[in-house]
């Protein structure tokens, strides 16, 4: 478990003070994949660097498994560092060393016996799918392969926490997908808690259980991925969600619909969990004798649960539309008016 309690970080830049973190309170539970998202300069790097002791908070506390890491002795710091693996956007590999040596580095530094190192590195390279690349040098590998080496190295000391600093930002979408799958396997198979920072909402949607949105050094919103994606509260969060879940009516269609001669009602209908896929629309159409025209729709998966989003035009008597909407709302379905000409 990682806890941030009132964490602030102020940098001195000449005579200027830069307040990168302004009182962060966050809890990452054991076994969770927790994502922190924010635009450039929001404070993401500063935040993650306080966990592996690359930066000390200016005030406040960071606790790992209940222990305040700012009060540790030098010996305890070394021990704690082994418990925290980290991977980076630009991999941070040693180009003059082989893949084997890069992965072995944390074990060499920990004075692990040679035969044990050999055995462990082989196991780690097998796990990341690169057992045939041990004698190569980083420059001979693709970006995705380099990140797998970074991951194998981060796992070498058997950490309970893995920190990911924009780990897929330098990779193409397909490679990103395979690295995210690997991170999910690490979380599930080894029960490693993952704290990742990113500016890509797609990464959060793909693997995170929870998300916090950082802006100007503050957490402006947090919750489960499902909650935040289906009901974002803050404008910045809404922008991030919209970047991966297009649920807006196209401008041209909106113009058409705003024509004053139009007399229909338009609603956004959000299905979650088990209500997705039920033949709700046809049932409602038959029962209330309404014409339902789906103007826009998508179904996506969030944390393993389906989430559907439809924009539907209702044509028929206003009284019947009202009854139909009440009926729809009785299920696990959220209905919100987009445009209403019937009232
Ligand atoms: N070592 C430093 N000295 C002075 N200012 C710093 C330092 N590190 C970060 N900052 C400033 O702190 C603020 C937060 O930076 P930080 O790198 O934590 O944000 P970020 O969200 O990770 O941004 P990016 O995605 O661009 O890396 C920025 O205004 C940045 O310029």
Are 198 and 310 within one domain?
A: no
pLDDT at 342: 43
Residue 70 CA to ligand 1 center (angstroms) comes to 21
Are 186 and 263 within one domain?
A: no
Ligand 1: which atom is nearest the Cα of residue 197? 22
Residue 232 CA to ligand 1 center (angstroms) comes to 25
Are 32 and 151 within one domain?
A: yes
Contact 1, 30 (CB under 8 A): yes
Among 7, 15, 20, the mutation site with the greatest number of ligand 1 atoms within 8 A of its Cβ is 20
Contact 35, 203 (CB under 8 A): yes
CA-based angle 155:160:162, to the nearest 5?
A: 60
Are 146 and 46 within one domain?
A: yes
Are 22 and 71 within one domain?
A: yes
Ligand 1: which atom is nearest the Cα of residue 217? 14
* Residues constituting the chain: 343
Residue 22 CA to ligand 1 center (angstroms) comes to 13
Are 180 and 272 within one domain?
A: no
Ligand 1: which atom is nearest the Cα of residue 47? 18
Pairing of strands 16-28, 193-198: unpaired
Q: Report which DSSP code applies to 94.
A: -
pTM above threshold 0.80: yes
Give the number of other CB atoms < 10 A from CB of residue 188. Answer: 11
pLDDT at 343: 40
Cα 144 from Cα 212, distance rounded (Å): 26
Q: How many domains does the chain have?
A: 2
pLDDT at 22: 97
Give the number of other CB atoms < 10 A from CB of residue 139. Answer: 9
Which residue minimizes the CA distance to atom 29 of ligand 1? 41
Ligand 1: which atom is nearest the Cα of residue 12? 4
Compute and round to an integer the Cα radius of gyration of the chain.
Answer: 25
Which residue range forms the structural domain that includes residue 117? 2-244
Which residue minimizes the CA distance to atom 17 of ligand 1? 45
Each residue's pLDDT tens digit in the chain (343 positions)?
Answer: 999 999 999 999 899 999 999 999 999 999 999 999 999 999 999 999 999 888 899 999 999 989 898 888 888 888 888 899 999 999 999 999 999 999 999 999 989 999 999 999 999 999 999 999 999 999 999 999 999 999 999 999 999 999 999 999 999 999 999 999 999 999 999 999 999 999 999 999 999 999 999 999 999 999 999 999 988 999 999 999 988 887 667 787 777 777 766 666 888 888 876 665 557 788 889 999 999 988 888 888 888 788 888 888 898 998 999 999 999 888 778 888 776 544 4
Residue 45 CA to ligand 1 center (angstroms) comes to 7
Cα 180 from Cα 186, distance rounded (Å): 10
pLDDT at 339: 61
Q: In this structure, what CATH number is given to the domain that contains residue 296?
A: 3.30.70.260
Among 19, 36, 44, the mutation site with the greatest number of ligand 1 atoms within 8 A of its Cβ is 44
Are 195 and 286 within one domain?
A: no
Residue 88 CA to ligand 1 center (angstroms) comes to 16
pLDDT at 87: 96
Which residue minimizes the CA distance to atom 16 of ligand 1? 43
Which tokens hold the place of 305? Answer: 């649960």
pLDDT at 128: 96
Are 114 and 222 within one domain?
A: yes
Are 208 and 255 within one domain?
A: no
Q: Which of 244, 263, 297 is the last residue of a domain?
A: 244
Among 17, 43, 51, the mutation site with the greatest number of ligand 1 atoms within 8 A of its Cβ is 43
Are 166 and 270 within one domain?
A: no
The three-class DSSP label of residue 168 is coil
Among 24, 46, 214, the mutation site with the greatest number of ligand 1 atoms within 8 A of its Cβ is 46
Q: Which of 244, 268, 298 is the last residue of a domain?
A: 244
Q: Which of 220, 244, 268 is the last residue of a domain?
A: 244
Are 142 and 206 within one domain?
A: yes
Which residue minimizes the CA distance to atom 31 of ligand 1? 41
Cα 334 from Cα 226, distance rounded (Å): 14
* Residues framing ligand 1 (Cβ under 6 A): 11, 13, 18, 20, 38, 40-46, 199
Are 96 and 239 within one domain?
A: yes
């Amino acid at each position: 478990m990682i806890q941030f309690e009132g964490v602030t970080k102020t940098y001195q830049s000449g005579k200027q003070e830069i307040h990168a973190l302004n009182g962060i309170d966050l809890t990452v539970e054991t076994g969770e994949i927790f994502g922190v998202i924010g635009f450039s300069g929001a404070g993401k790097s500063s935040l993650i660097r306080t966990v592996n002791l690359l930066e000390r908070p200016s005030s406040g506390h960071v606790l790992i498994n209940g222990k305040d890491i700012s009060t540790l002795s030098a010996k305890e710091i070394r021990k704690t560092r082994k418990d925290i693996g980290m991977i980076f956007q630009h991999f941070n590999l040693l180009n003059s060393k082989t893949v084997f040596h890069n992965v072995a580095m944390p074990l060499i530094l920990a004075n692990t016996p040679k035969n044990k190192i050999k055995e462990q590195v082989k196991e780690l390279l097998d796990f990341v799918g690169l057992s045939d690349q041990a004698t190569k040098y980083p420059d001979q590998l693709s970006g995705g392969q380099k990140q797998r080496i970074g991951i194998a190295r981060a796992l070498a000391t058997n950490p309970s926490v893995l920190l990911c600093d924009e780990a897929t930002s330098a990779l193409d979408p397909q490679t990103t997908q395979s690295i995210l799958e690997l991170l999910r396997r690490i979380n599930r198979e080894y029960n490693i808690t993952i704290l990742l920072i990113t500016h890509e909402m797609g990464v959060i949607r793909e693997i995170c259980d929870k998300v916090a949105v950082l802006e100007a050094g503050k957490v402006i919103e947090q919750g489960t991925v499902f909650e935040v994606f289906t009901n974002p509260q803050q404008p910045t969060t809404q922008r991030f969600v919209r970047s991966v879940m297009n649920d807006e009516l196209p401008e041209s269609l909106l113009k058409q619909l705003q024509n004053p001669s139009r007399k229909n009602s338009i609603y956004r209908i959000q299905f979650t969990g088990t209500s997705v896929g039920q033949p709700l629309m046809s049932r409602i159409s038959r029962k209330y004798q309404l014409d339902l025209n789906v103007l826009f729709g998508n179904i996506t998966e969030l944390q393993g649960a389906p989430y559907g989003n439809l924009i539907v035009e209702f044509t028929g008597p206003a009284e019947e539309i009202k009854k139909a909407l009440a009926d729809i709302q009785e299920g696990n379905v959220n209905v919100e008016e987009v445009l209403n000409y019937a009232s």
